[in-house]
Amino acid sequence: MDDFFTLRTVTWEDGAVRMIDQTALPIKLSYVRYTRPDQVASAIKTMVVRGAPAIGVAAAMGLALAAARSRATKLPDFMREMESAAAMLRATRPTAVNLFWGIDRVMKKAGSAPSVRQAKEAVSAEVKAMEEEDIQVNRRLGSNGANLIHDGDTVLTQCNAGALATVGYGTALGVVRAAVEQGKLVRVLVPETRPALQGARLTAFELARDRIACTLISDTAVGHMMSLGRVDCVIVGADRITRDGYVFNKIGTYQEAVLAKRHGIPFYPAAPSSTFDLARIHGNVIIEERGADEVVKIRGKRIAPKGVPVANPAFDMTPPELVTSMITERGLISAPFEENIPRLIS
Ligand code: MRU
């Protein structure tokens, strides 16, 4: 069944990073190849690559490019160059904690090497390992969550938490893939996810490619579909889950969680341990505010009057009381989250 799940979003190719250009989807599946860290930073900013785990690995690879290109011969000079590339990559997007996790992991590797040559080798090996690990972690997460889906279920998701948001396989859609691999018939209800349309452009694309049944709906149809009994459970990804159990994910997730509670539908965030931020509680997370153009235009075409004031928060926060349980590669986490998150994720 392996060749059924073939999208590989980010790849390290010794001295270059290859990634799917997600801005071209679903019209064209094309790849870009970068050799400089500033190219990777710009790709993260402009959402050529997006999704928390994918940007974590991409940023780590951006740093590996900085290492590979360095002409420094002394470690302190090398580390200064690495710090400056790390600062540039950290400034790309603020909400997904995986970005910082990926950068910190590479910086630690570089910082503990005894020579520049060994640091370069260690960093290159580390990003290749992170790439492979991402898929293994998602597969474990998927199989931990698959039993929550019953044969014939319809799963509502949000945004894209699939292969395209990770190196491969996906988190929320990884759970769906694992249930399909178990032989279950599963349908995914895909909200288009305005303003950047990751649901319509990316989730619908990757599900269709893998022949997993899906129905695309407008974001505004979510409550109605629940009220008709057409949603069995909600499975979403996460960009950051704080120590106290608050889930930061794509804008629109919170309203799905509130509506799920109203209709007695289980709500499951699915995320690898790298998405948990044990250092923060919910008040201390920056929610990215993106440009007005995403809202006043659809794919470049204006749909609102010039000059209208716009707010464009890219993420929202779902409180733990709306969460049934969290799906991770280490197992399921249930309430009380404040106690059980630090117990499982350390
Ligand atoms: O703005 P994006 O497309 O990077 O947002 C992505 C999401 O919100 C995903 O749901 C989240 O990163 C989890 S991906 C496994």
Question: Does residue 167's CB lie within 6 angstroms of at least one atom of ligand 1?
Answer: no
- Cα(195) to centroid(ligand 1), Å: 13
Cα distances (angstroms) measured from residue 234 to each of 47, 221, 322, 329: 25, 14, 11, 18
Q: Catalogue the active-site residues.
A: 239
For residue 1, the model assigns a pLDDT of 44
For residue 4, the model assigns a pLDDT of 53
Cα distances (angstroms) measured from residue 339 to each of 27, 336, 342, 346: 45, 6, 6, 12
For residue 346, the model assigns a pLDDT of 83
C-beta of residue 98 within 8 angstroms of C-beta of residue 275: yes
Pocket probe for ligand 1: among 46, 138, 167, 198, the residue whose CB has the most ligand atoms within 8 Å is: 198
- Cα(117) to centroid(ligand 1), Å: 35
Pocket probe for ligand 1: among 22, 249, 317, the residue whose CB has the most ligand atoms within 8 Å is: 249
Pocket probe for ligand 1: among 203, 239, 289, 327, the residue whose CB has the most ligand atoms within 8 Å is: 239
Question: Does residue 138's CB lie within 6 angstroms of at least one atom of ligand 1?
Answer: no
Q: Among the atoms of ligand 1, which is closest to the Cα of residue 96?
A: 12
- Cα(162) to centroid(ligand 1), Å: 9
* Alpha carbon 143 to its chain's center: 18
Question: Phi and psi of 317, rounded to 5°?
Answer: -125, 125
Question: Does residue 165's CB lie within 6 angstroms of at least one atom of ligand 1?
Answer: yes
Going by C-alpha positions, the residue among 114, 178, 188, 117 that lies closest to residue 148 is 178
Q: Which domains does the chain have, with CATH numbers?
A: 10-138 (1.20.120.420), 147-344 (3.40.50.10470)
- Cα(94) to centroid(ligand 1), Å: 12
> What is the C-alpha end-to-end distance of the chain, expressed in Å?
33
- Cα(158) to centroid(ligand 1), Å: 9
Question: Does residue 57's CB lie within 6 angstroms of at least one atom of ligand 1?
Answer: no
Mean pLDDT of residues grouped by 10 in the chain (346 residues)?
A: 72 94 97 98 98 98 98 98 98 98 98 97 98 98 98 98 98 98 98 98 97 98 98 98 98 98 98 97 94 94 97 98 98 98 95
- Cα(161) to centroid(ligand 1), Å: 6
Q: Among the atoms of ligand 1, which is closest to the Cα of residue 159?
A: 10
Going by C-alpha positions, the residue among 63, 55, 53 that lies closest to residue 110 is 63
For residue 299, the model assigns a pLDDT of 81
For residue 65, the model assigns a pLDDT of 98
- Residue nearest to ligand 1 atom 14, measured at CA: 161
- Cα(142) to centroid(ligand 1), Å: 17
Would you call the peptide bond into 336 cis, given omega within 30 degrees of 0 as the criterion? yes
Pocket probe for ligand 1: among 160, 167, 268, 295, the residue whose CB has the most ligand atoms within 8 Å is: 160
Q: Among the atoms of ligand 1, which is closest to the Cα of residue 270?
A: 15
Q: Among the atoms of ligand 1, which is closest to the Cα of residue 55?
A: 4
Q: Among the atoms of ligand 1, which is closest to the Cα of residue 198?
A: 3
Question: Does residue 49's CB lie within 6 angstroms of at least one atom of ligand 1?
Answer: no
For residue 340, the model assigns a pLDDT of 98
d(Cα 80, Cα 69) in Å, to the nearest integer? 13
pTM of the model: 0.97
